[in-house]
Structure 1
Amino acid sequence: MTTAVDIVAEAVRERVRRDGTDLSHHAELTERYVTEELQRYSEKALGGTGKLIADERTAARQIIASLTGLGPLQHFLDDPDVEEIWINSPTRVFVARGGDPELTDVVLTETLVRDLVERMLQATGRRVDVSSPFVDASLADGSRLHVVIPDVTRRHMAVNIRKFTSRIRTLHDLVSRDALTEEAAEFLTRSVHVGCNVLVSGATQAGKTTLLGALLNSVSQTERMITVEETFELDITAADVVGMQCRQPSLEGTGEITLRRLIKESLRMRPDRIIVGEVREAESLDLLIALNSGVPGACTLHANSAADGLRKLCTLPLLAGSNIDGAFVVPTVASCIDLVVHCARDAAGVRRVIEVVAPTGRTTGGEIEATTIYRRTAEGLSATGSLPERLGKYEAAGVDAAELIVQGS
């Protein structure tokens, strides 16, 4: 910001304090205050008491961003091509476009970074301090905020903002971006409709949450869905959906609500389908128990391949306690999970579905057998010609999976 813009911004702040108003939810009032103070400044500048502002429209946007937005970061949040913003230090602010990171010319101060974090957390009910040096939170637009403070970090706050995008909401949106084919999208849609339990696997930034949301938006509008997440990220357009997120403990160490607790509570809410945004630890056991009780569900999981995703889902429940062993977990995963959809981001930053596999329900030597239904090659994503071995859910819904895959291929 120029010195002139700083002066006008401070004048607006002083007026806000004097009038006792709150600009955070009053866009028209904010614009009026800024316009009036800019006019006052310009009149004084014409009299020779200050430097003229060359572009008042740009200055107004900067002032409004500093008052109600996120200051120097706001134009990145407004840019639809920017996917993620992260701050390594006040002078090292990065953004990602199309999966490619770039160092910006934005220079902040320690105080401004702290103020921006406090402003972002203000409406979330979450905190970050010495007793709780990490925080995950959802911003008002659905973007995900993650902050780590010293002395966990070496010197500066580490801030990540993963922007929420509403451009991709359906499987057809993914088809238009060559993430998967029309035929594979139809197969996945029908599979979700008949109640298949779906595991979406992939690495960080592979598009797992986006793909899961698109899958769920193909669900019948008559279904009641309960979603469980660490922080709200899923964008589901269903008419009957309840979203729940975890809660951090209070300063006294009480009041924490974990994913495990939320999954158990979701079973008491008459769910037609339970969705866990991401399984990372012992909550995977509670999800498996829910799926084994006959409630359809879906989740995401970090993995390098569909096979690795199944192996990991067999390992995570062991974290629930020493009384849980693989003799129970592996067969349960084999019988509960109907499809694994694996996605990945290539070197160009494009996110695509790489394979779709269907566990057979059998295990061999502690490994789950699975049939690959779709696989991506140099020619694209195509059907392998194999069919899921467990067709009971398709048949009960009157869907001919064989015809669906053969016609698509």
Structure 2
Amino acid sequence: MFIMLPPGVRDFVGEKRRKLLSIIEEVFRLYGYRYMETPALEYLSTLTEKGGEEIKEQIFYCEKEGLRFDHTVPLMRYVRDHPEIPKPFKRYAIGKVWRNEEPQKMRYREFVQADVDIIGVKEIWASQELLEIAEEVFRRLEIQPIIRVNHKAFLLELAKDIEDKGFFFRTLDKIDRFGKDWVKQELEKKGIDGEIVDRLSKMTLEDVRGYSEKAYEDLKVLGRTFDPFLVRGLDYYTGELFEFGIEGVNVSVGGGGRYDGMFGSDYNVGISFGVDRIYDIWEKEFPPKGLFIAWIKEKEFANEAASFFRRHNIPTELNLQERSLKKQLEYASKHYRWVAIIGPKEAQERKITLRDLAQSKEETLNLDEALKKVS
């Protein structure tokens, strides 16, 4: 019987995903953020305390609990329940989240988010640091990001005379998918002047000043690309907004913003990376590391050799089956560059035949000599 995975989830094998996560975490730690881990399950009352109807529809329900849909709500629940935490509280979280929505290309129901947040700082410099972190992550991944910013104060002033602000912002948010003409038509169906789309298309950061001095000053400090069409989570965010994209990819790979007042916490700002989406477009390859020890009739010395390499921090896999050398080498070629071959002659001389599968070369060496080769 062939059993498939449920839609929107997947398996991962190999180094690429682990390496991606380690790069992101290393940057977070370099900036002084503390690791935090929260339960997958939260009370529904916690998950729905801050969020619109769309969020409620995405929750996986488990009686009175639900699976977390992001790392921000659990963070703010923790901050609320631990008022003694010294501020600023700078934390990062990397882990799975779940959203009960229709799976699509690069849109999953179970996926990993990597978040970094600052609690207790009202100054715009907190956001500036977070964007620096984002740029450093992408630099280390050798990805050229598109970082766009906007501000809720500007958007609210822009829409002050529009009755159905929610519809207006949701429609603006679809401009990348459907284009300006479609957005204009949808707005006009609701009696909203479609020419606002043309005005926004020509707008510069300097124009923001005429709507909100606060928004202008904040965005000027951030110094990133101003996008008047950037509208995300306005029932969630309260100030500056960020989104991370990649040229040629029609979905965001991260973003964030300021969410002051959530769960009673005055000043909060954070960013999140969509690890699965970055994984999908990351073209880095990681050649196999370590070595495989193949042996014929000499498992005792093979065990000794494996222990030697492991003591020197070389990932080492030891053959555990009675099988031919040919079968062992076929297996090793799928996972390793280096193979240590041990037969009666090698065991007697306390040496190994070290084969480089990438170069199709081999030589007989003692363990110390082999260590220098594979290190």
Report TM bin, short chain: under 0.3
Higher relative contact order (CA 8 A, sep 6+): 2
Normalised by the length of structure 2, the TM-score is 0.24
Larger Rg: 2
Normalised by the length of structure 1, the TM-score is 0.23
